Chains A and B, each alone.
Chain A
Amino acid sequence: MQLELEHVSSGYGRSPVLHDVSLHVGEGEIVALIGANGAGKSTLLNTVMGLVATSAGSIRFDGRAIGQLPTPAIVRAGIAQVPERRQLFGSMSVEENLLMGAYTSADRHSVATALEEQFARFPILRERRRQLARTLSGGEQQMVAIARATMSRPRLLLLDEPSLGLAPIIVAQIMRQIVALRSARGTVLIVEQNAHAALAIADRGYVLENGRIALEGAANELLVNPAVQEAYLGGQGGHYAIEGRIRSRKLAILGR
């Protein structure tokens, strides 16, 4: 296993977000982590990156415990993250954004090669290399974010909601690029609210619900599992009993 989380709990200050989460990602796999907003998906990625402290459990990367390492050490170990909402350097050019991705590398030759690779993968970025990042379209910005994260040639790429705010046709384009990343040797853990888009390209998937793993399985099985839909839009069973209780309290107090 390349990445392995065992019984991990974590959160911010007093409010815990993840409870007893276990998941693994094998070498060369694309794994999708899906779930509604607020389920804890981004927190899980931030926990892997060491940006959020674990309160219990262990995280291993290539068999080495990384749970207590500071973020720069985790990046050096070979993990890169494409953050939610892209977080580009808006007033820097496309090329400067990409070069920031290789900030830790002192070897100018290999940086130049990496830059060429990115332009080969995303030809539109070569055209726009001098353009300020904030003037790009949403899809192009997402490409810059992915290209920047892969400049350091990570062995595991964490993608946080690459589809966010993008039109469906652009989402499909981005997803194809992510598949291409795998064929270029990468392992990918992708967090998505857009379950269909993520499961369509993934090998396996996990469904996160209120900070716990609610479901896991092969991606094509999850795609047709009605329980996945319930995790997004609510239902009656399990912890959805709360919905019923809220309804009856409302009826009792407001009479409707």
Chain B
Amino acid sequence: MVLLARRKSLIAALLFVIAVAVYPLAFPDSYHLGVGISAGAMAVSTVGVVLLLGLAHQLAIGQAAFSMIGGYANAILCVRYGWDPFAALLAGAVMAMALAYVVAAPILKLRGFVLAMATLALHLMLIVVAVELSFTGGPMGVTGIPKFHVFGISLADDRAFFWFVWLLVFGAVWIGLNIDRSAIGRALRAIAASEQAAGSVGVDITRHKVQMFVIGGGMASVSGSLLVHYLRATDPTVFGFSYSINLITGTIIGGLTSIWGGALGAAIIIFLRELLRDLALPLWESVIMGALTVIVLIAFPRGIAGFVSRIYDRMANEREVGRVVVTEPGAVAMQPLANPPMSHQPFLEVAGVSRAFGSLRAVSNVSFTVGPGAITALIGPNGAGKTTLFNLIGGYLTLDAGVVRFEGREIQALPPRDVAQLGIGRTFQNLQLFDNMTVLENVMCGQHRFTTHAVLPIALRLAAQRQEAGIRHAALEALGFVGLQGAEQHEPAVLPFGHQRLVEIARALALRPRLLLMDEPASGLNDTETERLAELIVRIAALGVTVLVVEHDMRLVMGLADHVVVMDHGEMIAEGAPDVVRGEPAVIAAYLGQEAPARAA
């Protein structure tokens, strides 16, 4: 799959290079070159859109705000202060990235359309500032911007500038592809699919959003700089809302999840706009653009890039994926835990933990310990508070009172990603797989805590590519361990339900957890699958991993657990060995209702 993606990307690169090399020779007049330059300028900023909107599903749509910073920085620095345009371009990018970094923290806490509104509001503020300040030239803007040159090397020739602009497009695309194919790229997709599950493997959600916002801002700024040097003037209308809208529309048409697709879409949008002007239909421009977007989206939900990619797959028969053969658990060995927990100290300690939702006391004053290396089961009727307790331990909810200690360290105030970093893995009651990735990539996400997430070395391909091989290897091992060989290239959604559960367990194991939290792993499984799951859990315990499991299937609980903790109405009502707990009147009453019948001997 990765190889396939590489090959497609190479083909796309080749086609782009040919097109860019030939275009100025075929259309040497300044009008056509100008259109090509505008298209390239816009294509530079699509990469940020693909990363943030396409991969991570964050509705940050006011990119033109940053293009405006770049455009005005160049206009003012070159015209008023006589800067070299290339230096001004770099300065504009730095300013835009600084602004993006400053506003990112408050803005990216927002989600969905509120985030969209906030990014548009930022843009609107900048437009107002540009109109009101005399420094920016007010409504008239700045004129007399020089043609582009790089430290004395003139690019005044439109053809040279065209090539330069597209060289920058290739640079932006290269950075985008490096990120897309790294641990950060997987993290972005994971955020889009399930923020909860992304946190469970240690993804720092805010950090990656901020990284992409800053990178996208820088690229948008470069785009604006290039544009004003072509136009030789700027005013507030150049970077109006329609600039953002065209950018988003172009990226969607080209393919929101494809770096190359986004660049292609931008080019298409600009050429289309010019074509409509040639046909003297400028009034119809937005109507036709809108209709086209809708049509493309209905016909090709993944844009033109997705459509072309599928045709390629069909022609090359590449997506033929192997049959999944489920083997016995442990068929592929995994390394036991290198430093298993010490047996003389409590491993996980829950002390006096409470949490209420309004007037409902979901968990109240619960205390128990989980021994190192043990399999502990947490049971209780529906609504007893088991999943709430799990979420409190995992950092998904904050507790009202109490302490959770993991290997002697208090963890109740940590967010999920930090809990994961300590080596606590988890699976979810309602499967939370990343449906936008292959099975193998899902499991590779489990290795996130062992990877570099510094964006610069990844973007510039200085690191991380090497670590990918190790991540892959570990993920394959985990998949083999749960018995899912041959499923690597499938999308999780096409697998039978029982297999999907195994993928989730493999993902949690790829984290190399010291403690594994499993929330109802047997729900939805048939008897054969349940027995296989039990065998898998035993083998996980044999690696030295401590297991805490919430489960309703009593055969699994009673057969598997060393220790059982029983909850009812948010309180712990019993704990002990399975056979002891099973006979406790309080437990029987909790399960059967208040006045349980005496068990006939």
Contact = CB atoms under 8 A, between A and B. Distances in A.
Interface of A: 13-15, 36-38, 134-135, 137-138, 161, 163-165, 167-168, 171, 193-198, 200, 210, 223-226, 228-229, 232-234, 239-240, 242-247, 249-250, 253-254, 256
A250 B569 CA distance: 31
Nearest to A256: B562
Nearest to A232: B591
Given A234-B558, A242-B559, 9 more contacts: A38-B552, A135-B358, A163-B593, A195-B593, A196-B592, A233-B554, A233-B591, A242-B530, A243-B556
Contacts of B582: 233-234
Interface of B: 358-360, 381-383, 496-498, 520, 523-524, 526-527, 530-531, 534-535, 538-539, 541-542, 552-560, 562, 569, 582, 587-588, 591-597, 599-600
Nearest to B533: A246
B599 A165 contact: no
B40 to A, nearest CB: 47
Contact of A229 (B381, B498, B592): B592
B588 A137 contact: no
A16 to B, nearest CB: 8
Given A243-B555, A250-B538, A196 B359 contact: no
A13 B588 CA distance: 34
B383 A165 contact: yes
A196 B588 contact: no
Contacts of A233: 554, 558, 582, 587-588, 591
A229 to B, nearest CB: 6
B201 to A, nearest CB: 25
A110 B456 CA distance: 69
A246 B534 contact: yes
A161 B593 CA distance: 12
Contact of B560 (A138, A164, A168, A246): A246
A44 to B, nearest CB: 16
Contact of B360 (A36, A138, A168, A197): A138
Contacts of B382: 37, 161, 164-165, 193
A244 B383 CA distance: 28
Query: Which of B359, B383, B556, B596 is packed against the most chain A CB atoms within 10 Å?
Result: B383
- The residue among B530, B558, B593, B597 with the most chain A CB atoms within 10 A of its own CB is B593
A197 B596 CA distance: 10
9 contacts: A37-B382, A38-B523, A165-B382, A168-B594, A225-B597, A229-B592, A233-B588, A242-B527, A254-B538
Contact of B594 (A135, A196, A224, A228): A196
B32 to A, nearest CB: 54
A250 B547 CA distance: 14
Contact of B556 (A134, A163, A225, A246): A246
Given A196-B592, A197-B593, A232-B591, A246 B559 contact: yes
A228 B592 CA distance: 9
A200 B594 CA distance: 11
B524 A234 contact: no
Contacts of B562: 256
Contact of A253 (B498, B542, B559, B587): B542
A194 B569 CA distance: 13
A14 B497 contact: yes
A101 B307 CA distance: 46
A15 B528 CA distance: 13
B381 A193 contact: yes
A229 B554 CA distance: 12
A36 B530 CA distance: 16
A15 B382 CA distance: 21
Given A229-B597, A234-B554, A242-B530, A250 B592 contact: no
Contacts of A14: 496-497
A167 B569 contact: yes
A111 to B, nearest CB: 31
Interface centre among A37, A226, A245 (most CB of B within 10 A): A37
Nearest to B498: A15
A142 to B, nearest CB: 12
A242 to B, nearest CB: 5
A213 to B, nearest CB: 17
Nearest to B535: A249
Nearest to A234: B554
Contact of B558 (A38, A135, A243): A243
A253 B381 contact: no
Contacts of B358: 134-135
A38 B555 CA distance: 13
Nearest to B591: A232
A141 B15 CA distance: 63
A244 B559 contact: yes
Contacts of B592: 194-196, 228-229, 232
